[in-house]
Amino acid sequence: MIESVLVANRGEIAVRIIRACRELGIRSVAVYSEADRLSPHVLLADEAYLLGPAPSAESYLRVDRILEVARRAGVEGIHPGYGFLAERAAFAQAVEEAGFTFIGPTAATIAAMGDKTEARQRMAAAGVPIVPGTTEALVDAAQARALAREMGYPVLLKASAGGGGKGMRVVESEDEVERALDAARREAGGAFGDDAVYIEKYLEKPRHIEIQLLGDVHGNIIHLGERECSIQRRHQKLVEESPSPVISPELRAAMGAAAVRAAEAVDYRSAGTVEFLFEDGEFYFLEMNTRIQVEHPVTELVTGIDLVQWQLRIASGERIPFHQDDIRPSGHAIECRITSELPEEGFLPSTGRIRYLEVPTGPGVRWDGGIAQGFEVGLHYDPLLAKLIVHAPTREEAIRRMARALDELTVDGVDTCRSFHRRVMDEADYQAGNVTIRYLEEHPEILTGESAGEVDPEDRRIAAALAGLLEAERRRSIRPPRIQAEDRSLSGWQGARGAWRAGQ
């Protein structure tokens, strides 16, 4: 087993990885920017090292500094989490060349799946259904128009090196092609350093279904069932669940087998995900995520398999001990992403200091958080603060449990999307499982309406302020632990490990 790991990330996923390391007896090393000096992931790790200023380009994206810290800390492996450097083949290659174990797939696998046109070529060759379209980048607007006429409008222009909706344009008619192609290329070049764009048929109301995979270095690859991720905003997922309410056992087996073929085509190892679009009973390959996913907890709850621990075990050379027939999902799990955004105002980002935090508890409730009371939420990073996940015997019970947990959640000092999620849990089409990627367009009231039993915002603020005062008084009566760090202001996380070692 690997004995020490540097977590090259921040926030809730860094906390998640550090906890997995703790349970496996692995020494964890955190890195942080100046803005994250007292973040939970920093205070929870066994050691922590400063990377640089708040902007990610000067801290979390600095490969040279991450590798320097890894050498100084004497770690064996580096876990990239998700986002930042997680799907950059050059980073995985640099980690391996520096003599460390990259906790994820090989650089060659990341590169193959990172190029969407190459990925489509490989999937087609492996017999995995792909959305009708090109498997090579477009040459010019004339070629795009000709292909669009052949496929029929609407069509979708997509960045070859892209993801997260960047470099993507829906084209409804021929006179939009040139303008949309120019815009997609500019955005792709700015976001990914590669302006290549391809074209495919636009599916108007598909569901977004993804299959979780695990592969080891001995050639064993299995799938762990599907996740429904159709509720999205601009191709960013908001609510996820497992299993999907519309996938039959037969279809699950077919999609799982296709996902395994996809993984075999690129010699996949570690945890990964194959994403599909599903419409009118047919499924089509969308992309492969060569990392742990934000929504991995719902799969963990229905299968009982710790995916992050298995990333670490696989990187240590362990063989997956279970077979496909051993995977029998149980119950239903739902995840709501808690972000510092205002859905009522077009998902406008919110900033501020968290004055009071009350996390829901009780049977079947899980909180994967990267925040704490006193935590400062800025604009430097992704607005994801935490994930609220529930598990119950049935989907109906899971929805009710999530509604109850959302009612208990209080984050005072910064606006969040909590009320939006509460409205989703109340909405009839969601409760019936009638969702597609157009869900928010078809239910605009979800963004601005009120949910049943919603506590008055002013009452919530008053209660939070009073609770914050009581908590502050309680802390003043407690003698704080000795902290070996430059910044000695306290957070509730600091009592978790006693003395904290920080490197500069």
**Active site residue ranges:** 291
Largest CA distance in the chain: 74
In Å, what is the CA distance from 238 to each residue of 52, 66, 125, 271? Answer: 31, 30, 33, 21
CA gap 14, 7 in Å, rounded: 6
Amino acid (1-letter code) at residue 380: H
| 476 vs 149: CA distance, rounded Å | 71
Q: Are 451 and 422 in contact (CB under 8 A)?
A: yes
Tokens read off for 276: 């599909």
| Spatial distance between the Cα atoms of 155 and 198, rounded to a whole number of angstroms | 10
* Residue 235 DSSP one-character state: T
Scan for tokens 């609770």, then name that residue. 467
Q: Identify the bridge partners of residue 48 per DSSP, sorted by sequence position.
A: 30, 502
Residue partners of 180: CB distance under 8 A and separation at least 6: 157, 169, 170, 171
DSSP H helices, 322-381, are none
Q: With beta carbons less than 8 A apart as the criterion, state whether 417 and 339 touch.
A: yes
Task: Give me the sign of the Cα torsion angle 171, 177, 179, 182.
Answer: positive
In the structure encoding, which two tokens stand for residue 356, read together? 């009071």
* Cα–Cα distance list, 193 to 66, 110, 139, 162, 287 (Å): 22, 16, 18, 10, 19
Residues 6+ apart with CB under 8 A from 195: 159, 185, 186, 188, 189
Residue 350 and residue 415: Cα distance in Å, rounded? 6
Residue 95 tokens read as 């980690």
- Asked whether 62 and 52 are in contact (CB, 8 A), the reply is yes
Orientation angle between helical segments 89-97 and 63-73, nearest 10 degrees: 30
Torsion region of 33: left, alpha or beta (phi above 0 gives left; psi -120 to 50 gives alpha) = beta
Residue 161 tokens, joined: 């090196």
Cα angle vertex 17, ends 88, 217, to 5°? Answer: 60
Tokens of 187: 């955005």
Instruction: Pull the structure tokens for residue 315.
Output: 């990187």
Return the closest-CA partner of residue 373 out of 385, 356, 395, 388: 356
Contact between 230 and 436 under an 8 Å Cβ cutoff? The reply is: yes
**Placement of tokens 């799907």 in the chain:** 87
